[in-house]
């Protein structure tokens, strides 16, 4: 059943028609269903007659690896999974709402009724909110009370909006096909849930195990799905990045799961700059930009393309690791600016003059920032590191770090006389 050319579609459809005709229970509904889609299918059949399937494979139906490769060579990628495409080959192409299964239709009726109820709730909640907003603060019982009430009501409204659509099979299908519209709350909710199921767990594990969280920022509860690309290659959190690849600034894909727009500050901090005199580590700010707008729809941020007049405080400095030094954790922190208000670019530019030992903690307190997203990649000495150091004019490129031997404890002679005693 694997290859569609083996069991060609028209033949299968023919067989199925006769089969369904044989069943008296299904006859009425199925014939009605066929009538609705008969025209479309006739068109398909005529097309197939004009050109055999293997000459022009359909990306939605192709299932043999050979034909898939052929399509890929043409630049068309097959749609969905192979299993799904095989299933589609012998499906009747009946619209989802008209599937001739009684139980299914009854279940749909229940879901539709539930949705109607939720929509009614939404309208009533909207009215309630508008009524409360119309009231004066005295009538509402104080400003604080009114505020908290409004906040709770809005939260409930958002919840209702999600509940109205969450049982809709078409919404689920669209989301799984990657066609979800992130401007709608239901798709944002589903995307958030999916992110929290796996990718967020990985990210949190990496930033805690590699100690980004106490070393760079004291706390971080990521609410942004951050993806990082160096030259179109996606980097997994904590991955070692080749020094050549990280020479240019990365691109970000920052997915927000809330409505509205946010202004964020992006900082890339290296907490592992070796300091031999101190016998410890220093910090270095590799990149900093303020007032970067992000929203659920506008997710792409190219660190190299941000405006140098109004956003970038420190442009990208390629990460370097001296020979023999422990790996450097390049941690990217996305801070939410307070109330999404823009920061004064000129003032910050005037105040922050040096990259060295500029801590993320300092920024947090100085500009009232809150970390809402984090990412991490690592750098170590590699073959191209020396060239990178030379091109950026790194002063200590010829310095190698070697292990220092700890002095031994002084040898103490055992008191054997006491032992004999």
Please, what is the minimum distance in Å from the beta carbon of residue 352 to another protein? 20
Establish if 371 lies at the interface with another protein (CB under 8 A).
no
Q: How many CB atoms lie within 10 A of CB 302?
A: 11
| CA 306 from centroid of its chain's CA atoms | 21
Confirm if 225 and 195 have CB atoms less than 8 A apart. Answer: yes
Strand partners, 225: 255
Question: Bridge partners of 229?
Answer: 234, 251
Distances from the Cα of 212 to the Cαs of 10, 131, 201, 207, 380, in angstroms? 59, 47, 15, 5, 17
SS3 153: helix
Nearer to another protein, 67 or 213 (CB): 213
Smallest distance from the beta carbon of 421 to another protein, in angstroms? 17
Residue 230 phi, psi dihedral angles, 5° rounding:
-110, 115
- 419 lines the binding site for another protein (CB under 8 A): no
The number of residues that bind another protein (CB under 8 A) is: 33
Q: Which stretch binds another protein (CB under 8 A): 119-127, 159-167, 335-343, 405-413?
A: 405-413
Distance, in Å, from the CA atom of 218 to the CA atom of 170, rounded to the nearest integer, reads: 43
Give least dist CB 406 to another protein, A.
5
Q: What are phi and psi of 11, to 5 degrees?
A: -60, -45
φ and ψ at residue 357, rounded to 5 degrees: 55, 30
Contact between 418 and another protein by CB under 8 A: the answer reads no
Query: Applying CB under 8 A, which of residues 106, 279, 339, 356 lies at the interface with another protein?
Result: 279
Q: Of 214-233, which residues contact another protein (CB under 8 A)?
A: 214-216, 218-219
Distance from C-alpha of 318 to C-alpha of 300, rounded to nearest angstrom: 21
204 is a contact residue toward another protein (CB under 8 A): no
**Interaction between residue 208 and another protein (CB under 8 A):** no
Candidates 63-71, 116-124, 236-244, 272-280; binding stretch for another protein (CB under 8 A): 272-280
Within 301-340, the residues that bind another protein by CB under 8 A are 323-325
From the list 4-12, 118-126, 252-260, 271-279, the region that binds another protein by CB under 8 A is 271-279
CB of residue 298 to another protein, shortest distance in Å: 32
CA-based torsion, 194, 198, 203, 208: positive or negative: positive
CA angle 139, 145, 147 (to 5 degrees): 100
Per-residue mark of binding to another protein, 376-395 (x: CB under 8 A): -------x--x---------
- The contact set with another protein (CB under 8 A) reads 211, 213-216, 218-219, 271, 274-276, 278-281, 323-325, 383, 386, 396-404, 406-409
């Amino acid at each position: 059943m694997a290859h569609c050319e083996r069991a060609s579609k028209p033949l299968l459809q023919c067989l199925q028609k006769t089969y369904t005709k044989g069943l008296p229970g299904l006859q009425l509904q199925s014939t009605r269903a066929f009538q609705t889609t008969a025209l479309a299918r006739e068109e398909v059949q005529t097309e197939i007659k004009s050109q055999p399937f293997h000459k022009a494979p359909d990306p939605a139906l192709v299932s043999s690896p050979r034909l898939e490769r052929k399509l890929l060579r043409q630049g068309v990628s097959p749609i969905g999974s192979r299993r799904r495409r095989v299933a589609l080959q012998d499906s009747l192409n009946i619209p989802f709402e008209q599937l001739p299964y009684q139980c299914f239709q009854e279940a749909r009726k229940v879901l539709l009724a539930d949705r109607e109820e939720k929509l009614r709730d939404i309208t009533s909640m909207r009215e309630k909110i508008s009524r409360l907003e119309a009231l004066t603060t005295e009538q509402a019982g104080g400003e604080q009370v009114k505020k908290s009430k409004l906040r709770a009501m809005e939260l409930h409204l958002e919840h209702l909006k999600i509940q109205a659509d969450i049982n809709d099979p078409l919404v689920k299908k669209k989301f799984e096909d990657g066609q979800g519209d992130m401007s709608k709350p239901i798709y944002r909710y589903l995307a958030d849930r999916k992110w929290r199921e796996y990718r967020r767990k990985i990210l949190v594990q990496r930033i805690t195990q590699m100690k980004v969280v106490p070393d760079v920022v004291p706390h971080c509860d990521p609410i942004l799905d951050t993806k990082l690309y160096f030259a179109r290659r996606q980097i997994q959190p904590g991955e070692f990045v080749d020094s050549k690849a990280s020479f240019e600034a990365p691109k970000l894909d920052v997915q927000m799961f809330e409505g509205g727009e946010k202004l964020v500050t992006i900082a890339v901090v290296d907490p592992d700059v070796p300091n031999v005199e101190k016998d410890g580590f220093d910090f270095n700010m590799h990149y900093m930009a303020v007032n970067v707008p992000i929203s659920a729809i506008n997710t792409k941020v190219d660190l190299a393309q941000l405006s140098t007049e109004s956003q970038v405080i420190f442009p990208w400095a390629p990460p370097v690791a001296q020979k023999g030094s422990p790996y450097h954790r390049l941690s990217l922190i996305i801070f939410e600016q307070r109330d999404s208000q823009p920061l004064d670019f000129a003032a910050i530019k005037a105040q922050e003059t040096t990259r060295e030992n500029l801590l993320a903690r300092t920024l947090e307190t100085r500009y009232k920032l809150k970390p809402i997203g984090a990412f991490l990649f690592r750098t170590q000495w590699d073959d191209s590191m020396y060239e990178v150091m030379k091109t950026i004019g790194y002063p200590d490129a010829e310095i190698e770090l070697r292990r220092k031997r700890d002095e031994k404890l002084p040898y103490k002679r055992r008191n054997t006389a006491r032992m004999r005693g």
